[in-house]
A and B are shown apart, each in its own frame.
Chain A
Amino acid sequence: MNKIGDTVAQKHGAGGPAMRALIERVFVVGLGEAGAGLAAMDDGAAIPVGDRFLVLTTDSYVIKPLFFPGGDIGRLAISGTINDLAMMGATEPVGLTCAVIIEAGFPIVDLERIRDSMRATCTEAGATIATGDTKVMGKGELDGLVINTAGVAFASRVVPDSGLRCGDRIIVTGSVGDHGFAVIAARHKLQLEGALASDVAPLNGLVRAALAVGGDGICAMKDPTRGGLASALHEMAAKGQVGIVLDEASLPVRSEVRAASELLGIDPLHVANEGKAVIGVRPEAAERVLRALQSHALGREAAIIGTCVAERPGSVILDTGFGRRLLAEPEGELLPRIC
């Protein structure tokens, strides 16, 4: 069991077991009845309205640096919320809200660049920002800029992240680790060869295409953001009470990401993705869903990467081709190894 300690530490925001422990002990328990739906700890909430569900989600975005290869905090703030809605099966956003908290001294020209990026991403996702809020804090009271977005959408069927059963196949919609390594390289100014670029993108169109052919055959979805594919799969395995066996050879990983990961000793399965989804599908629907994903621009490299089994519920087992081992969740902040 994870101890949460007396004060909040960086690890409590890293997307792994420490963060789940903090949310469970402080918010889920502490909010009681007022926190209906929180206990599911899914990507968002689904509130029944007539014969449909109103899906609601909110997320705050902080990232260093604000501009990184492949995207920026604006594109991230729109995509992240669109994707949280999409992972619940809600691919038609009704509207978004956007609140920004800005540090005094922040360049207006950067703010405009971020706004343009948000607008372009909204257009891509077919979404609009319906309302917003702006606050300014003193210099040093905040590191640059924080953006919060919330989103609302309707769904006729909610896809939870807990729906896996034995025999289900696991699909990932493209290469893993791109966002995490692009940001690590930019943050630490590592002069790595090759084109590391974030995958940040709104996925509602891609998910819509998958749901159109997969229907009820799509039983669980999650976006592998903080904590990476490893954390997403652990959570899905634990909630569905299944084991997941991953076939490493079929995992799409770009060669530049693989190179950076071996250099830094950081596993591509442990870093964030911002434009990928993990989809659990019933075996009979797997090929159909895979083909639909692959014919979408954001899913060309989609692959079936694993199968759910009855053994070791809650665990993720990696078949490396040489043998099998457990896949661990990342713990705390990712620090590169020494040699």
Chain B
Amino acid sequence: MNAGARDGAELKFRDPGRARELSAALGRLVQSLGRAPVTLMHVCGTHEQAIARYGLRAGLPPALRVIMGPGCPVCVTDLCEVDEGVALALQGVRIATYGDMVKLPGSSKSLADAQAEGAQVEVVYSATQAVELARASDRPLVFFASGFETTAVATAAIVLAQPPANFSVLSAHKYVPPAMEAVARLPEARVEGFLAAGHAAVITGYGLFEDFAHRHRTPVVVAGFEPLDILAALVKLLEMIRDGDHGVANAYPRCVTRQGNRRAQEALWRVFQAVDGPWRGIGVIPDGNLQMREEWAALDARQRFHIDVSGLKQAAQSQLLRRCLCGKIMVGLVEPTDCPLFGRECLPDSPVGACMVSSEGTCKIWYQYGGRPDLGGTT
């Protein structure tokens, strides 16, 4: 009920006293580096959620910048991919997708707009639920699947489990490690260390980042999602920077191993292959998209349907969209409050850029939780 009755695990990773000790350690470490600002990047909307949700930024030393990279799968879903989903929906095909995808703007329409025009768009909470919907009727159903490694494995699992004949997948799945490469190559980003997403690393294993950390001479720490997980991982990352350690540390050992989940990896790569593809606002990421392999053509909506997106394209990009800074925000070059549209023309209710749509998007999170507010520490 109240704090007293919460379970032990939660208390262990949500202890404000321990958090204050870790924040103090962060302050000492940043000072010992003798330069400001020190920029660390995480690549996961769930991390940004937790940082904002618990008000952690208010307690970070001012010289430490913790920014969010391309870590929101909905935000990086390309206009063309949304157009494909919208076109299928308007062609009369029933679409099942995750809640966040519904409001995401395409070239001229979102799935919510298609729904208002009479298209059938169902919100599902899991890939399995999409299959259940397909089983409940004979009509074709397309699961418009998005997300990184974590949800891609769930999609792979249902593809391998012989779904009904009326079921197919429109994959907008993306793969995070290549996007980290892209950001690390941007000289202006000046990211000194990365926090890797704990849930994705449960699948891929932390060993995956060793080559990356070594090549870019940038340490990587795998982090969980409780407030103390994040603070402890930041402390570890600063220690590694101080010591010139360009390796990988696992700050989420209760869930993550070096090898990861082999069975999940096998399922993922049996169904998908990594191909070059556009990420909204960022550009083409080599090997960044997860495409279904030829073997699964019968379950691939792109192979099964003729998807005509020509009617959705607009000749000129809207004036508003041209001023949108989502791309720069997603690679950590600017903060949401630097965008002229943020909180004015671009609102959660009427998003211009993709970062304002999803609860994992940087702008939406900043809008909801007040960004980096000067509200003082805890009382």
Chain A positions near chain B (C-beta within 8 angstroms):
2-3, 11, 17-18, 175, 188, 190, 245, 247, 249-250, 252-255, 258, 264-265, 301, 303, 317-326, 328, 331-332, 335-339
Contact = CB atoms under 8 A, between A and B. Distances in A.
14 contacts: A188-B125, A249-B2, A252-B1, A320-B54, A322-B56, A326-B375, A332-B348, A335-B102, A336-B123, A338-B74, A338-B98, A338-B101, A338-B151, A339-B46
A325 B369 contact: yes
Given A317-B375, A324-B377, A328-B369, A338 B57 contact: no
B91 interface: no
B18 to A, nearest CB: 10
Given A319-B379, A324-B375, A337 B58 contact: no
B360 interface: yes
Contact of B99 (A18, A254, A258, A338): A338
A190 B58 contact: no
Given A323-B56, A338-B146, A338-B360, A328 B367 contact: yes
Interface in B345-368: 347-350, 358-360, 367-368
A153 B309 CA distance: 59
A323 B6 contact: no
Contacts of B281: none
Given A247-B379, A338-B151, 8 more contacts: A175-B1, A190-B125, A255-B7, A301-B2, A322-B16, A322-B56, A332-B348, A339-B147
A323 B99 contact: no
Nearest to B57: A323
Contacts of A332: 348-349
A337 B359 contact: yes
A323 B349 contact: no
B336 interface: no
Interface string B147-169: 11011000000000000000000
Given A255-B1, A322-B227, A338-B99, A331 B349 contact: yes
Given A265-B359, A339-B199, A324 B1 contact: no
A335 B227 CA distance: 24
Nearest to A270: B368
Residue among B2, B125, B347, B379 with the highest chain A CB neighbour number at 10 A: B2
Contacts of A301: 1-2
B225 to A, nearest CB: 10
A250 B358 contact: no
Contacts of B360: 337-339
Interface in B124-177: 125, 146-148, 150-151
A4 to B, nearest CB: 10
Interface in B37-82: 45-46, 49, 52-59, 73-74
B73 A338 contact: yes
B101 to A, nearest CB: 8
A323 B54 contact: yes
Given A322-B19, A322-B227, A338-B100, A11 B2 contact: no
A87 B59 CA distance: 38
Contacts of A18: 349
B359 A321 contact: no
B376 interface: yes
Nearest to B125: A336
A30 B154 CA distance: 52
Contact of A331 (B19, B150, B348, B373): B348
B3 interface: yes
B118 interface: no
A264 B52 CA distance: 17
Contacts of A336: 98-99, 123, 125
Contacts of A252: 1-2
A249 B14 CA distance: 11
A252 B3 CA distance: 8
Interface in B15-49: 16, 19, 45-46, 49
B244 interface: no
A328 B16 CA distance: 22
Contacts of A338: 73-74, 98-101, 146-147, 151, 358, 360
A253 B5 CA distance: 10
A321 B349 contact: no
Contact of A324 (B58, B103, B146, B358): B58
A335 B123 contact: yes
Contacts of B368: 326, 328
Residue among A2, A249, A317, A326 with the highest chain B CB neighbour number at 10 A: A326
A326 B370 contact: yes
A322 B59 contact: yes
Contact of B378 (A190, A265, A323, A331): A323
A75 B199 CA distance: 42
B46 A324 contact: no
Contacts of B125: 188, 190, 264, 336
B26 to A, nearest CB: 13
B2 A250 contact: yes
Contacts of B7: 255
Given A324-B55, A337-B99, A338-B360, A11 B1 contact: no
A118 B125 CA distance: 34
A247 B378 CA distance: 10
Nearest to B372: A325
B155 to A, nearest CB: 12
B74 A324 contact: no
Contacts of B58: 323-325
A336 B373 CA distance: 26
A21 to B, nearest CB: 10
A175 B147 CA distance: 34
Contacts of B370: 325-326, 328
Residue among A188, A250, A324 with the highest chain B CB neighbour number at 10 A: A324
A326 B46 contact: no
A228 to B, nearest CB: 14
Given A265-B359, A331-B349, A338-B147, A325 B1 contact: no
B272 to A, nearest CB: 17
